[in-house]
Amino acid sequence: MFNNLFGNKKTAPRFVIAVNQVDKMIPNGWDHRLNMPTEMAEKEIKRRSQDIIKRLSQYTDLASDNIEYYSALQRYRLMPLLTKIVRNGYAGFKLDHIEPANPFDLAEPEVKAFAQQQMQERLKQQGNQQATNKDKIFEEMRQFLSEEELNIVLSKFKQERSRPPQVAIFGKAGVGKTTTINNLFNAQWKTSHTIVGTTKAQMKDFELNTGGKLKVVDLPGYGRSLAEDREYEEIYRQLIPSCDLVLLIVQANTRDFTDDQEMIIHIMEWLKEAPVPQR
Amino acid sequence: MEITVVVQGKTGAGKSSTNNKLFYLNLATDNAIACTKVPQIIYLDNSHYEHLNLPYKTVRVIDMPGIGEGIQEDKTYMPFYEEWIPQADSLVWVIQADTRAYKRDEIFLLKLAPLFKSSLFLTVALNKIDLLGTDEGEQPFDLELGQPSVAQLKRLPEKVEDLYNIFKGAIGNQICFEKHQIIPYTSEYGWGLAELKTKILTRK
């Protein structure tokens, strides 16, 4: 039962593919006034995304629910991406208080002001609805579970909650991993970072703007050269099973996916061997 | 004398776009999906090379389907590579500047190098120089002057050095390969195209 509540491999594949840099999809395809793609660019982005989904889901049981496109640099579609991360991550509820960097900060001033005003109005209408959702779930559980069972659930919930979410950021060399971390989690680089073994993988602790902590496993990128890939494979094998989520980033304006397909086959194997994060 | 120019490289790097710009062709290109599925064979008219004083009667250009499209596609296209690479006198290997991932190029070079003619001339065509470093906040390509920004030009030697090591490592001593055979250009804006064309056709 607890496996169902706290995510097993069926409910949470712990794997999201993120298609970055859609702002570079076509030349002159970015509207800087509104900070969003032009109509023409958006059409191409969608076609490309469809193609990527088709290619990357060929070798696994990936669904379109595991894939999202965005631009970290332009902060475009960070919210849909975060939603997929929460939905597919192990104990994704730990990521519920993250607010990605605001895309309208990059738009022209009058656009920004308009967006802000709209946002405030909407917030007023919604009230505090969101804050009470979690309590509601526990109230509902009370109807089905005994007091004792409910306490086990609550303590398990608290225990998992106290552990910062651990997310592996992965992808080919140069796809924009750092920009993604900073803008998606609206996170500030925290001074402590540990080099794992003698490798180049780094664990970074992030202090979130909205409070709380996030552990990011920054894996060395693959696909640069044969020698480097051979060197890194052992690192991947060791670290990936310990993560709540693997965020695999691909670059929208490249369309060679053999490297990614090969890596996805590996990742799925490693995650299947460890249906619950091994820490 | 007949020469064969084979244009090879990763899918999406801009092989067909480059051929279109170099030789005023109209090969199908697409922003979103791969569209060259079988080799396209083009015979050039002599206006492209007569001013270069070359002893060629015929020049044919082979536009290849790209490598790295997918595990399955790589297998499907392999017979095309095995057919055409041994016939190449001038091999143009198109890569794109705004990535650091060149493993797939390395893998295919290792596989194909044993098929090279000993007289083969290799040109590494470094495309999309207009996007070099822009994801890291560099000064972008100068659209008015139609040339890379100062920052991009400064970044270039480091890029060429890196590529030279990867390519040299994969080719070994099969054929001669020097740094000047790496030509930066942009098929989108035209910068560097003339030099690339001369290199490919004169083969020196």
Query: B104 and A259: CB-CB below 8 Å?
Result: yes
pLDDT in tens, A130-159: 556 677 888 888 888 888 998 998 888 888
Contact A186, A99 (CB under 8 A): yes
Concatenate the DSSP letters of all residues of A7-64 into one string.
Answer: --TTT---EEEEEE-GGGSSTT-EETTTTEE-HHHHHHHHHHHHHHHHHHTTTS---G
**Mean pLDDT along residues B143-167:** 94
Q: For residue B135, list chain A residues with Cβ-Cβ distance below 8 A.
A: 21, 24, 73, 174, 176, 179
Interface residues of chain B, partner chain A, Cβ below 8 Å: 10-12, 31-34, 66-74, 96, 98-104, 106-107, 131, 134-135, 166, 169, 188
Supply the pTM of this predicted model: 0.85
Q: Each residue of A61-73: pLDDT tens digit?
A: 777 788 899 999 8
DSSP-based helix, strand, coil % in chain B, nearest 5: 40, 20, 40
Nearest in space to A174 (alpha carbons), one of B178, B134, B28: B134
CB contact under 8 A, B100 and A224: yes
Element (H, E) at A139: helix A129-142
The answer to whether residue A106 neighbours chain B at the CB level (below 8 Å) is no
The answer, for A224 touching chain B at a CB cutoff of 8 Å, is yes
B53 vs chain A: nearest CA distance in angstroms? 37
Interface check A254 vs B, CB under 8 A: yes
Running DSSP on this structure, what letter comes out for residue B138?
P
Q: What would the pLDDT profile of B98-117 be if each residue is shown by its tens digit?
A: 888 999 999 999 999 999 99
Instruction: Indicate yes or no: CB of B11 within 8 angstroms of CB of A253.
Output: no
Which amino acid type is present at position B89?
D
**% of chain A beyond a pLDDT of 70:** 89
- The DSSP 8-state label assigned to residue A219 in this structure reads P
User: DSSP letter at B89?
Assistant: S
Looking at every residue in chain A, the average pLDDT score rounds to: 83
**Once rounded to an integer, what is the mean pLDDT over residues A8-18?**
72
- Check B12 against A221: CB less than 8 A apart: no
| Smallest CA–CA distance from A21 into chain B, residue | B135
CB-side neighbour CA atoms (13 Å) of A197: 10
Which range has the top average pLDDT, A12-26, A80-94, B151-165? B151-165
Question: Tell me, what's the ipTM?
Answer: 0.88
Q: What is the pLDDT of residue A271?
A: 87
Looking at chain A from residue 31 to 90, which residues have their Cβ under 8 Å from any Cβ of chain B? Answer: 44, 47-48, 51, 55, 58-59, 73
Report, as an integer, the average pLDDT of A102-115: 91
Return d(Cα A92, Cα A95) in angstroms, integer.
6
**Architecture field, domain B2-202:** 3-Layer(aba) Sandwich (3.40)
When pLDDT is averaged across residues A19-36 and rounded to a whole number, the result is 89
**Residue A81: what pLDDT?**
92
User: Residue type at B49?
Assistant: Y
